[in-house]
Amino acid sequence: MAEILDVKDLSKRYDGNGFALKHVSFSIPAGSIVGFIGENGAGKSTTMGSIIGTLQKDDGDIHIFGDPMDAKDSAIKEDIGVVFDDMNLPYDLTINQLGKVFKKLYTRWETDTFAYYIDLFSLPRDKKVGTFSRGMSMKISVAIALSHQARLLILDEATAGLDPSGREELLEVLQEFVKDGQRGILLSSHITSDIEKIADSLIFIKNGQIILKVEKEDLLQNYAIFHCTDEECAQIEDDMLVTYRRQNEGMEVLVSNKEKVPNHVEEQKFTIDDIALLLMRGEKG
């Protein structure tokens, strides 16, 4: 399967700031949705900004559709649809006026597609964007990203501010976007249940470093969280121990192959949110 996005050894440092991206590497195969999970300040937005060129990377290689990413290349930029949590649109324009503006900015702008998503998301065409709620603002940003024949969507907290019905509607749109097998999505969200519903693979990032890359089905079928004593924990093979955290008198551990854990060790029911919490708070195995 061809790769829509390939990131290798991406690094970014900030002067006077202890935070840095450290050799971030991952790829997005065509037809897939990749969930990007981490706490505030973990490096998700910095990674995304470095990919699209709004931030200047220090090191690493980024390829889009097999070609080196060049933020000055208008053709590549049209292939990427971007939605950021802090995306600013002109407050004094209506949706109808915005459509005319973006028709001039994008050579492949599709007026009918834009109108379709405006209707689908039940957005008012004649109200100024400055009057929109946060959820409505995210919907208009998504509609724009979907209306210029983009092949890669980079979405940072795109479901923020949406009610459960609005989130489900948007997730269905994103699944439809990749259905032809020619496009891909990088999606970050603090609502891990949204990522769990639609992602094919997951990337967990902590303190600027990727700590786990895994296919979602592999994670749900083979990984597991166990609560065990120190003695039981010592019986788990080192190469299976992904992370651990001490709790009261025992240990909470994440393993990559639950079938090899001794039967007497207590397995816990878990969600991807539970795994994310343990990865963020735990220590490396």
Instruction: List, for residues 111-152, the tens digit of each pLDDT value.
Output: 999 999 999 999 999 999 999 998 999 999 999 999 999 999
- With 0-12 CB in 10 A as exposed, 13-18 as middle and 19+ as buried, what is 180? exposed
Going 186 to 190 to 194 to 199, the CA torsion angle's sign is positive
- Residue 254 CA: distances (Å) to CA of 102, 183, 235, 250, 282: 47, 32, 14, 14, 9
pLDDT digits 0-9 by tens, 241-253? 999 999 877 899 9
- Enumerate the β-bridge partners of residue 11: 59
* Confidence (pLDDT) at 272: 94
- List the domain boundaries for the chain: 3-217, 223-284
pLDDT at 86: 72
Q: Is beta strand 80-83 parallel, antiparallel or unpaired with respect to 152-156?
A: parallel
For residue range 146-198, list pLDDT tens digits in order. 999 999 999 998 888 899 999 999 999 999 999 999 999 999 998 999 999 99
Q: Which pLDDT does position 51 carry in this prediction?
A: 94
Rounded CA separation 43/205 (Å) = 7
User: At residue 126, what are phi and psi to the nearest 5 degrees?
Assistant: -105, 5
pLDDT at 248: 77
3-state per-residue secondary structure call for 43-84: CHHHHHHHHHCCCCCCEEEEEECCEECCCCCHHHHHCEEEEC
CATH superfamily of 3-217: P-loop containing nucleotide triphosphate hydrolases (3.40.50.300)
* pLDDT interval class at 39 (50, 70, 90): very high
Of the candidates 201, 206, 208, the one whose C-alpha atom is nearest the C-alpha of residue 272 is 201
- pTM for this model (two decimals): 0.93
DSSP H/E element including 139: helix 134-145
pLDDT in tens, 68-120: 998 788 788 889 999 987 767 888 999 999 999 999 999 999 999 999 999 99
